[in-house]
Amino acid sequence: ALDRKMNPLLGEEKPLGIVVDTHVGGGICESTNLPRTAQVEYRCCSPQSVAQFKPHVLYKGNPIPSDIASIVQLDEPTVCNYHIVVCTPLLCDGLAEEYEDGPQTAFSKQGVAKTWYGNSNRHPSVAAAAKEKKNGALQPTAKKPRKENESIRDTIERTMDGVCLLSNTNEWWAYEFCHGHHVRQYHEGKVFDPKSGVTSLQMEAQYWLGKYDADRLESFEREEEINYVVNVTELDKATASAAKVQANSLRGSGAYFYQEYMNGQECDGTDPDVGAKGGAPRATTVRYFCGPTFALSNVREDATCHYMIDVTIPDLCEHPLFRKPADKKKIIKCLPLDDSK
């Protein structure tokens, strides 16, 4: 019955496949005394079919137009177990690539489209069924104009507003950095449904590693930003050597600007210092470097329940504090020897 309903929505498009996300651990259902669950099924639909539903996403209760996806069916097959069908061109052959170089709809602080960059510019589950971009990192196609005498935070805000960077270089954990919002660590496992023959990704674990606090991180003037910039010369010998290698590979001086994302989920680690405090919230130091692409890299846990991540932003390379110093030219003059003396 669902196929009969969805086939007309394909138009002339050919589906790449069906992606199913299973969401567990919802609110307790009064009828069953068990957590609610939901299965979200993503299917290919032509852009014209999506448009006819006049889809929106909600930001702070306000509807925002979206041409990426629309809910076409929502039902409750069993008590407190829900089934949702989402219609999207991202799962249509030949259409997914058209969206790779453009913004994808989600939320930003101003209520405009959020863009996903990194290993995928789409939700990880949808990306599994769509073709990946070869280089892994996607670049903005419509950049906001640079301000005169732009501060470091101005540059970061202008280029990263509404952007989430993804990294799954770790074999088990994947990481997500959403500027102005949060740092998250999560793991999705593949689940095969023998009845439908569909393999889906299911969230198995996730931890919030820190949250953005505007009152704290925006509380100082631009002249004080230099206090949050670390230069290669200020590092110890081992760290400086690694930073120089990174600077050579990423461009720029190797300097970075840092912000602390705090008040993540409480840590229940076995470290004695954490235990003595009765548990402590996770936190992450976000280090912003000049780099050729927008990327999240070098995720590591430098202390129990404290993390460090590196974010590269091409526009920072134009800031004086991040520019690679020019090679100084030395002029050597050679004069003939006077043998007569």
Half-sphere exposure at residue 207, Cβ-oriented, CA atoms within 13 angstroms: 19
Which is higher by pLDDT, 242 or 181?
181
CA–CA distance, 183 with 175 (Å, rounded to integer): 7
311, 295 contact by CB (below 8 A): yes
Cα distances (angstroms) measured from residue 50 to each of 65, 146, 157, 279: 12, 35, 31, 47
pLDDT in tens, 103-136: 333 433 433 334 444 433 333 333 433 333 333 3
The pLDDT tens digits for 60-111 are 555 667 777 888 888 898 999 999 999 888 888 876 555 544 333 343 343 3
pLDDT at 227: 92
Q: Sorting pLDDT into bands at 50, 70 and 90, what band is 311?
A: very high
Residue 190 pLDDT greater than 60, yes or no: yes
* Beta carbons within 8 Å of 303's beta carbon, 6+ residues apart: none
